[in-house]
Structures are given as C-alpha cells and as structure tokens.
Amino acid sequence: MACPPAKSEPMPLPPAPSQPPETDAGATPSLEAEAMGDAPAAVGNATEGDEPYRVLIVEDDRSQALFAESVLGGSGIQTRAIAEAAGVLPALEEFQPDLVLMDLHLPDMEGTSLTQRIRAHEEFAHVPIVFLTGDPDPELQYQVLEVGADDFLSKPIRPRHLIAAVQSRVQRARVLRRLQGTGQQDLNPTTGLLHRPELMRRIAAHSTGTGGALCVEIQNAGALRDRYGFAGFEHLMNEAGRNLAALANGFDAARLNDNVFAMFAPVADEPALEGLSRNLRDGIGRDGIDIAGTPQRLRAAVAYATCAGSKPGQLLDHAMEALREARTAPLGIAAYQAPVHDARDDRLLALLRDALANDGLRLAFQPVVAVDGGEEAQFQALMRLPEDDRPMHSAREVLPLAEANGLMPEIDRAVLARAIGHLGDREPDTPLVRLFVSHSPRSLAEGGHVEWLRRELDARGVAASQLVLDLRLDDALVHSEELAPALARLADAGVGVCLSQYLHGSEADVLLSQFPLQYVRLSPRYTAADATAAERDEARGVIKRAHALGLRVIGPSVEDPRAAAALWSSGIDYLQGNLVQEPEHALDFDFQTPVL
C-alpha cells in the first residue's frame, strides 16, 4: 500500500471545442433567439405538474442580468434579479428559488462571502449556487467551490449551455428532495448508484466468504479536468456512473471518490469477477460521452478482490491495492494477490501480539525541520518492534502483517499512548515538542476513538496542539466519507492532521480543501535525488496549492543536498530525512540551526 501509483500513458484527448466569438452582452434579442432555437420550449419543468423552475439572479450589471432573464425566461423558467448582496436573503425568503445564479464580484460584497452567508441559513443550505463570471483567474474556481458553490460558469456562455447548467442543477435538487421524502435517499438521483456510506454498510454486513468487490478507475482524470473544467469533468463522471449502473448486472455500486467507482458482487466467484471486470472496462470505453458538442471516450482500469481472501473491512482496501497494478497492466485489469505466507511471519506476528499485550512497542524520532531554522521543535514518531538483541523491526516490516490480522486499531492506540507518554514525561521547563504520528483511517473512524485520545492527552497533561495525526493519501481517498466526521471531532479537540504520501491528482486535491488539515507531507517520489523535471514542477504546483489553502508542506525522505535545494527553491516549509538526521530514540535536535 505504500508504493506510489505508477504512471499511466496519457490518453489522447480530442481538440478543444471551438469557442464562439464573444457576444456583446447588450445583444439580448439574438441570444434569446439562439436559446429558443437550441432548446425545447417550456423546459422549466422537471415533470408534468411541477411548478416552474425559479432562479434568483444576483448581478449588478443590468445588461448581464437582462441577458440571463431573457434566456432563462424564454425557456419557461421564472426569474428575479437582484443587484446588491444586501437584498439576497430577503429575496431568498420571499421568492424561494430553486437556484441562485450569481456574479462573483458585487459592489457591496464578494460572491464568495455571500455564499457563506447563504449557507449559514439552514433553510438555504442546500439551494444550488452557480457563479457566472468573466474573471479569468483559474484559482477562483477552487475558491468558489471551497466556500460551498455548486458550479462555476465562465462568460461568455452560449444560451443553451446556460439553460442546460441551470436545468440539470434544479432537476437534481428537486429529485433529491422527492427521494428524501420517499425513503430512497440511499440512491444518488443523478446516477442511480448507491451513496458510498450505504455501499460500505452493505459490504460490512456481508457474512459469508462468497463474492467480491471491484474498483473501477476512470483514467487520466487530471487531463480531463484540465480540458473540460470542474463542471465538465463532473458531467463525465456522472455519465460514467450511469453507464456503470447499467453494466452492474444488478450488483450494488457507488462512487468511491473523484474518479473511482466501487461495486459489490456478493455472489460472484473469481471467474465471474474477472468477466465482470472485462465487461466494465469495455462498457465504460465503448461509447463517447457528448460534452460541448464533442464525443469523449473514457478509459477505465478495473481491479477486484474476493471475499474469500479478504475480511469485509479490508475488501475495498485490497481492491484499491490491486488497482495500482491495473493502471499499468496490459489489459487494464488486476486481481488482488494475498502476500505469500512465510514461516517468519508467524514468528513476527507472535512477537507483535506479545508487544501489544505487554506495552513492548518502541518509538524512534526523526526531526521535521523548518528550512530557515527557528524554535519550532517537531519530530515524526516511527514505530519500532524490538526482538531480543536483534535490530528492531521497522513499521514497514510490521504493518502489512498487522493489517492482514486486524491488529491496526490496537497498534494505533499503543503507538499514540507511547507518543503521548514521551511528551508528558518531558521536564516542565523544556520547550514544547510536536509529534507527527502515523494513523489508520479505520481506527480514527471507530466510535469513541477521538474521545479516548482526548482522555489520554488530559491524563498526561499534554496539549492537543503537540500531536499531529499522519494519514496516508491512499487510505484517506478510500475512507474519506468515514473520516470526515472523525476529523471534525479531531479539529474540535485541537489535534492536528497531516495528509502524507501526497501525489498530485484531482481527487487528492479535493481532500486538501475538504479535510481540516494543517500539513501536507509530499510523496518521496517528489523528494528523490533522481526526481524528473516534470515531477519537480508538479511538486512546485502542489506546494503553491497547499500554501493557498493555508497548509504547511513537508518534504520527507530527503537524503541528497541537491534534492533539498530543489525543494527549498520550490517553497517547501520543512525537510525531513537522513540528510537532516537519522531516526534516534531521543527527542534531541538543534532546531535553531538552518538546514540549508
């Protein structure tokens, strides 16, 4: 699980669709005519008998507001225009719109701040908000989505595209409200797939050793997002989800993360899982998906794991592990292969169980140092398993065995308790030290775990800010739904969170803004002495993105001065690795001396 994903060959993309010439915003009649020609009349109803769609337009430019009113009104959609932010909340209460179409820059308030104000009212927390703006700054797309907006449309926009964007959002919101009223909230109204927590619940409830799980990854997600933008990418993933639902043969499926879907086949044997994998791979890529008038074919990698070789709680983890192999496999399909049993594993497992029963685990510490020096003292705590007079076993040797035998919750608590003990045993007049401690998402999501951690900190008189939990990116992607409430409780407790083994990707980027993080630890691929120029450029982009979100970035496994210098020039905040200091069993390092 620790290996970074292998690179895949870039998928050829069609030429960018040609953009129409920018139209004078005042030329409303011709635009309205185009809208009426492109779209069927009176499309403002989801189904016969529904009330017309209602859209609140927040736009201080009168000509732009008239344009939106004429285009949407010509399609049977009721509209109301507001020029200032101060009038939005009263209009929401009176007009009860299905959607808010908003300019990003208003004279009395930025659209991002207004979105936060709207979302603070429970009654309007789920009203779709779509920004329509001519601001070319791509960072704004991230910002508006982070504060709770649903979509970002760029001016100039063709009338039929504006109508389609409004229709799809309103239809989705109305269907969701109806489903919630009929008990069908387990299904995503757009794709017909299960919501992820429901799929996880069904897998956990499976009590026999039959069947298995599959993971389907849409490849080249980053290139697709760059080409088509957030809304276009989401359209592609929704269409892929619909295709998956049609190909599922009645099996349960859900969207697992940004570009990965999961399927649970409780009665399929291994040959059936192999055949289903081929059908999914071929079916996803068979037909092009229309986007902006251009057909886009998708390519999928598929991996599966059987219940016979996995416990329910490990099933998706094993399928995701196999997915890394599927990305580069000639056929794009891979099956999870359990580690070959080694007699030495039995001895190591017995040693581990004894250490857990008798408080026998130990820690080594490696400093995490600010590149310019300073008084901030912090270390990463590294688990060690002693064995008589032999060298201690590292976490890399022990953790795969622990995961296979369901021991991770015990290890996580034992390591945390020992780390807190080290912090609590320090003399009162010594500087405070912060420890980064690796942690399993499944342990963190267990009921009562955060409360147990609070009690341990209080019992030893250790400040919560002295502890940072390290979560691996691959694990966080798989367990993001379960992690969200646990991370919120951690943030309330004051414990920090670091997302480690970080590799750039659209789904990984979403976690940066969704999770209450303080730190990001890069993948060693970015910090290696032989990292390519492209990898160093990618690392620079990750650092810039993290800094824009207020996060601090750690460069781990640094062993070469040239790699350290390259990271420093990219704006890295901290360095860690044998170049700085090898792991030691004492919390001892001169942090005031600059590393470079």
pLDDT value of position 352? 94
Write out the two tokens for 519: 């730190």
pLDDT value of position 33? 35
As a whole-number percent, the residues of the chain with pLDDT over 90 amount to: 39
Q: What is the pLDDT of residues 151-185, one digit of tens each?
A: 888 778 888 889 988 988 888 777 766 655 444 45
> Residues with Cβ < 8 Å from 427, sequence gap 6 or more?
none
- 195 HSE (CA, 13 A, CB side): 14
Q: How many other CB atoms sit within 10 Å of the CB of residue 340?
A: 6
Residues belonging to the chain: 596
**403, 421, 451, 483, 491 from 447: Cα distances, Å:** 19, 23, 9, 11, 16
Write out the two tokens for 510: 């979403």
Average pLDDT by stretches of 10, the chain with 596 residues: 38 36 35 38 45 92 90 92 87 90 85 79 79 74 71 82 87 70 61 85 83 94 80 88 91 87 92 95 92 90 88 83 91 87 81 94 95 86 92 90 86 96 90 94 84 94 96 84 83 93 80 89 90 87 91 93 90 93 90 69
| Complete DSSP assignment for 25-39 | TT-HHHHHHHHHHHS
- 297-308 in b/e form (b: 16+ CB < 10 A) is ebbbbbbbbbbe
Write out the two tokens for 164: 């389609």
Alpha helices in 16-109 (DSSP H): 28-38, 62-73, 88-95
Structural contact between residues 100 and 127, judged by C-beta atoms closer than 8 angstroms: yes
What average pLDDT is seen over the chain?
Answer: 83
Structural contact between residues 131 and 152, judged by C-beta atoms closer than 8 angstroms: yes
> What pairing do the DSSP bridges indicate for beta strands 369-370 and 574-575?
antiparallel
Measured in whole angstroms, the distance separating CA 540 from the mean position of its chain's CA atoms is 20
> What pairing do the DSSP bridges indicate for beta strands 252-255 and 260-265?
antiparallel
Helices 315-326 and 196-204, packing angle to 10 deg: 120
State the amino acid at position 423 in one-letter form: L
**Domains in the chain, start-ordered, CATH in brackets?**
28-182 (3.40.50.2300), 196-335 (3.30.70.270), 358-575 (3.20.20.450)
Write out the two tokens for 89: 């909340």
Q: What is the DSSP letter of 556?
A: -
Structural contact between residues 494 and 516, judged by C-beta atoms closer than 8 angstroms: no
Q: How many other CB atoms sit within 10 Å of the CB of residue 437?
A: 22
Write out the two tokens for 451: 């409360």
Query: How far apart are the C-alpha atoms of 473 and 503, rounded to whole Å?
Result: 8
pLDDT value of position 214? 96
3-state DSSP of 456-493 = HHHHHCCCHHHEEEEEEHHHHHHCHHHHHHHHHHHHHH
Q: How many other CB atoms sit within 10 Å of the CB of residue 270?
A: 14
pLDDT value of position 142? 64
| Long-range contacts, stretch 21-30, CB < 8 angstroms, 24+ apart | 22/156, 23/156, 25/61, 25/63, 25/64, 25/67, 26/63, 28/63, 28/66, 28/67, 28/70, 29/70
> What pairing do the DSSP bridges indicate for beta strands 99-102 and 78-82?
unpaired
Write out the two tokens for 372: 């310019």
- What is the three-class DSSP state of 76? coil
Query: How far apart are the C-alpha atoms of 445 and 490, rounded to whole Å?
Result: 11
- 261's enclosing H/E stretch is strand 260-265
Please, is 533 exposed, middle or buried when counting C-beta atoms within 10 Å of its C-beta (0-12, 13-18, 19+)? exposed
State the amino acid at position 592 in one-letter form: Q
Measured in whole angstroms, the distance separating CA 406 from the mean position of its chain's CA atoms is 25
Closest by CA to 104, choosing from 167, 164, 154, is: 154
Cis peptide before 400 (omega within 30 of 0): no
Write out the two tokens for 410: 């015990």
The pTM of the full predicted model, rounded to 2 decimals, is 0.58
